[in-house]
């Protein structure tokens, strides 16, 4: 007669754990399989309480949907893509984070492209996204965008525009951005309220809608204040540090130099600040500086920069949501969704110094 415990079956002890199924999640959450499926795929309304129970069960059981089978069934890859003009610009890194933050909540992966403001680079990314069967694209066009060519390359892949919005609707399934005209007009009015009358604007290429709109807002503010427009104070760069530096060096070398500068892009604002420092002008006492597209370390500069802040992460998240809802058959419509901007006041703007106290260059 045998005594003691049976020896452990070595093959049984190394058996892989059973794969958790959607039925296990449904049982743990006290829901039907169809309800759990609807919650995962966002195909039907689920109450907040039920959704929380399902998500809690998914986390507790460490359930991972079979993405390959799901993709074959739905004819989707659960991948979206985004192409931006400049990954070195913190505005676009924040926008991408917003896209990714939303995408991961609905089990989508993200492909990222950096066009470096060149249409040919962007074109290559669009072709790659199509080859990799991305379900949709969030697009921030390069400055030299070639119009409708992008839609032809993308084919049937839906596109949502973010930040840089085309004037025509075209085939886009959505557009998300801000009112650049109103934001620039508000910023210029602020400089006018301080007493500035000679205000230079450093804009990006005027064939780009954002740049054109921000110059239009500047014009409207001057017009409403009864100030004649000086075309020589409208300067154009290419949204880079070096172009902001160059344009400000030139405009501040004039005998009738402005008392304030409005840069319509954060990288050009940094270049403008460098030029001011190289010319040994005191900011804001001798020259005020206001920029567009706030960034975290603007407060670490001396002086800290007054900036127009766009909700970059929110723009990205809303663009992703609009795109994915269209992909999954719940379109919001192809209209434009406009988010608010904020003028963040810091230390780089003040009333202009009296003419007698300004140093001559």
Select the highest-mean-pLDDT range: 70-74, 128-132, 150-154, 320-324: 320-324
Distance CA 92, CA 117 (A): 12
Q: pLDDT at position 359, please?
A: 56
Q: Which residues of 105-134 are buried (b: 16+ CB within 10 A; e: fewer)?
A: ebebebebbbbebebebbbebbeebbeeeb
Does residue 48 lie in a domain region?
A: no
Does residue 37 lie in a domain region?
A: no
Residues 166 and 89 in one domain: yes
Does residue 139 lie in a domain region?
A: yes
Q: What pairs with residue 291 in β-bridges?
A: 307
What's 166's domain CATH number?
3.40.50.2300
Residues 207 and 327 in one domain: no
Residues 163 and 93 in one domain: yes
Residues 164 and 267 in one domain: no
Residues 198 and 100 in one domain: no
Does residue 49 lie in a domain region?
A: no
Residues 206 and 305 in one domain: yes
Residues 197 and 210 in one domain: yes
Range of the domain at 129: 73-179+312-339
Task: Provide the pLDDT confidence category of residue 171 given band limits of 50, 70 and 90.
Answer: confident
6 against 148, higher pLDDT? 148
Q: pLDDT at position 144, please?
A: 79
213 against 359, higher pLDDT? 213
Q: pLDDT at position 68, please?
A: 46
Residues 284 and 224 in one domain: yes
Residues 161 and 186 in one domain: no
Q: pLDDT at position 48, please?
A: 81
Task: Give the model confidence (pLDDT) of 14-26 as tens digits.
Answer: 455 567 888 888 9
Q: pLDDT at position 1, please?
A: 44
Q: Count up the domains in the chain and report the number.
A: 2
Select the highest-mean-pLDDT range: 11-20, 153-162, 168-177, 332-341: 153-162
Average pLDDT over residues 303-318: 96
Residues 257 and 320 in one domain: no
Task: Provide the pLDDT confidence category of residue 2 given band limits of 50, 70 and 90.
Answer: very low
Q: pLDDT at position 36, please?
A: 84
Q: Is 110 helix (H, G, I), strand (E, B) or coil?
A: strand
Task: Provide the pLDDT confidence category of residue 94 given band limits of 50, 70 and 90.
Answer: very high
Token code pair at residue 284: 């804001």
Token code pair at residue 302: 């001396």
Does residue 191 lie in a domain region?
A: yes
Task: Provide the pLDDT confidence category of residue 358 given band limits of 50, 70 and 90.
Answer: low
Does residue 9 lie in a domain region?
A: no
Q: What is the DSSP letter of 106?
A: T
Task: Give the model confidence (pLDDT) of 53-71 as tens digits.
Answer: 988 898 898 887 665 455 5
3-state helix, strand, coil in the chain (%, to 5): 45, 15, 40
Residues 168 and 235 in one domain: no
Residues 191 and 142 in one domain: no
Q: pLDDT at position 201, please?
A: 98
Q: How far apart are the first and last CA of the chain?
A: 109
Do 305 and 91 contact (CB within 8 A), yes or no? no
């Amino acid at each position: 007669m045998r005594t003691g415990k049976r020896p452990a079956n070595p093959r049984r002890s190394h058996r892989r754990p059973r794969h958790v199924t959607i039925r296990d999640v449904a049982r743990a959450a006290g829901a039907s399989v169809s309800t759990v499926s609807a919650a995962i795929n966002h195909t039907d309304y689920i109450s907040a309480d039920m959704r929380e129970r399902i998500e809690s069960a998914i986390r507790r059981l460490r359930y991972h949907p079979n993405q390959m089978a799901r993709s074959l069934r739905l004819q989707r890859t659960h991948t979206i893509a985004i192409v931006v003009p400049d990954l070195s610009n913190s505005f676009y890194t924040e926008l991408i984070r917003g896209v990714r933050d939303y995408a991961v909540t609905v089990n989508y992966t993200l492909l990222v492209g950096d066009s470096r403001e060149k249409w040919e680079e962007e074109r290559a990314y669009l072709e790659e996204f199509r080859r990799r069967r991305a379900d949709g694209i969030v697009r921030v066009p390069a400055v030299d965008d070639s119009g409708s060519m992008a839609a032809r390359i993308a084919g049937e892949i839906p596109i949502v525009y973010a930040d840089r919005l085309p004037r025509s609707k075209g085939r886009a399934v959505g557009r998300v951005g801000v009112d650049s005209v109103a934001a620039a007009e508000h910023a210029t009015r602020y400089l006018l309220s301080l007493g500035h009358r000679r205000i230079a604007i450093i804009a990006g290429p005027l064939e780009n809608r954002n740049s054109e709109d921000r110059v239009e807002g500047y014009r409207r503010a001057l017009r409403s204040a009864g100030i004649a427009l000086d075309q020589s104070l409208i300067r154009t760069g290419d949204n880079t540090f070096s172009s902001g530096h160059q344009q400000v060096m030139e405009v501040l070398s004039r005998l009738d130099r402005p008392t304030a500068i409005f840069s319509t892009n954060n990288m050009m604002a940094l270049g403008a600040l460098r030029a001011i420092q190289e010319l040994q002008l005191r900011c804001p006492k001798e020259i005020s500086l206001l920029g567009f597209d706030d960034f975290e370390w603007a407060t670490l500069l001396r002086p800290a920069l007054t900036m127009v802040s766009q909700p970059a992460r929110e723009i990205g998240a809303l663009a992703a949501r609009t795109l994915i809802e269209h992909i999954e058959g719940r379109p919001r419509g192809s209209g434009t969704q406009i988010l608010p901007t904020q003028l963040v006041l810091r230390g780089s703007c003040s009333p202009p110094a009296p003419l007698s106290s300004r140093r001559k260059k």
